[in-house]
Amino acid sequence: MNIVLFGPPGSGKGTQATYIVNSKKLTHISTGDIFRKNISQNTKLGQLASDFMNKGQLVPDQLTIDLLETEIDTYKNSNGFIFDGFPRTLPQAEAFDKFLDTKNMSLDKIISLEVSEDELVARLLKRGLDSGRKDDQNSDIIRNRIKVYESQTSILKTYYVENLKDKFFTINGERTIDVITKDILDILLKD
């Protein structure tokens, strides 16, 4: 089973991905985690990604895709993947479709977590205090990240509805974690 979980920064993708991974025994692929790992290891790629992330901008498509492909190839015996925060742009989605074809893989479910901007800002500022993440400590940077999401990523809803309508689901992400998790697990049981 391969799942795309997307939504704006702070919508709960990482939290929900953890529950899904534990329930369905999938491999969690988070581009944010991949970027942070490379940043902490001070790789050339990490340095490039850091420049974009610290400004609240998306990491360029080709850089993201190359990293993702390398990461997937390290999990040859996986039961499937949950892609958290990827794809983020239409070119990434199109490149991702081609990559999945080369691996004889397909997407089984696409789940979008919907959360209001004010709630996202509040969540991310709290996360910034708790985690020390620089990109979560400034409301202007957070609001820019949300604007970038709205202009570049939210269009993927249309893309997936047009191409995989029966596999696309929207979830209200402003409820309790347990209620959201139950809704997602119910979706994953549908054929």
Q: What's the CA gap between 105 and 29, in Å, rounded?
A: 15
Q: What's the CA gap between 109 and 97, in Å, rounded?
A: 14
Check pLDDT > 90 for residue 139.
yes
Beta carbons of 135 and 53 less than 8 angstroms apart: yes
Q: Tens digit of pLDDT for each residue in 32-52? A: 888 888 889 898 878 888 888
| CA dihedral sign, ordered 65, 187, 173, 28 | negative
**Residue 121's pLDDT band (cuts 50, 70, 90):** very high
Give residue 37's pLDDT: 86
The mean of the pLDDT values for the chain is 90
Give residue 48's pLDDT: 85
Q: What's the CA gap between 117 and 1, in Å, rounded?
A: 31
Give residue 54's pLDDT: 82
pTM of the predicted protein model = 0.85
Q: Token pair of 94, please? A: 């199109």
Give residue 126's pLDDT: 94
Q: 89 to each of 3, 23, 26, 101, 110, how far by Cα in Å?
A: 17, 28, 24, 18, 15
Q: 94 to each of 88, 98, 146, 153, how far by Cα in Å?
A: 11, 7, 22, 13
